[in-house]
Amino acid sequence: MAYRTFGDLSLQVQQELDIEDEEFIQPTELIRYFNSAVTIVESEIIKIGLREKYLQGEALISTVNGQADYPLPADIIDNKIRKIIYRDGVTIYEIPPMRGEDQYEAEDVFNLYPGTDYFNYMIYKTGSNSSHILRLVPKATKAVANAMRMIYWKDLNRYTADGTLCDVPEICYEFVMSYVRYRVYLKETHVNTASEKEDMAILKALMSETLQGQVSDPNIDLIDQDLSSYQEQS
């Protein structure tokens, strides 16, 4: 699907409510209302069990000769990495995280003998801005374009600028706009507040029902692919 921008959705709501030039409702308020609606959608997605479908991100990271530390994706949630796959030609494997009390000693030992294409990773907080980084152990000894494919958990986009894409499922757009209309009516103590609240509840129920229909059925899903023969050749 082609996502709509928050600016497009906001303009539609403002035109419907005839508040394009109104000062009682400030632009920053509309942004907060949209983001509150997105938070509700996000919670429904997680509750229903569709996190993998809508809240999973992917990033390709190239290794640099002699470099250990790499920035994490900007939209990653709490540094939650689901999996990192390394690929260089026919060498393909999952990079495991380093764990346990001896991981720091192991990091030093691995870096003493860096001549390998097999890595582990750690997460560190470094720098003056206290940002988190991905640390390869041992450090890379050659440059490989898009060597690491990182799968991680992300948030739905929040309204930060008019051009930001609203990446909620398409079925959720009407609920999002209804929620914003309701919040505007509520502030204005508008006569339509109660009816919009009822419409919003109906749209939320429809949204949840439709999303629920996308949950996988284990009885009809395909069985896992057998990749053992490929692994034996790598």
CA angle centred on 165, ends 202 and 175, rounded to 5°:
5
pLDDT for 201 equals 97
Structure tokens belonging to residue 70: 């790499």
Per-residue model confidence as pLDDT tens digits over 77-113: 888 999 999 999 999 999 999 887 777 777 777 767 6
Record: fold of 56-154: Immunoglobulin-like (2.60.40)
Query: In the beta sheet, which residues pair with residue 123?
Result: 134
pTM of the model: 0.76
Domain ranges of the chain: 6-52+157-212, 56-154
- Which of 34, 44, 42 is closest to 4 using CA atoms? 34
Per-residue model confidence as pLDDT tens digits over 107-126: 777 767 666 678 999 998 87
Lowest mean pLDDT of 110-119, 141-150, 172-181, name the range: 110-119
Sign of CA dihedral 194, 200, 201, 202: positive
pLDDT for 130 equals 64
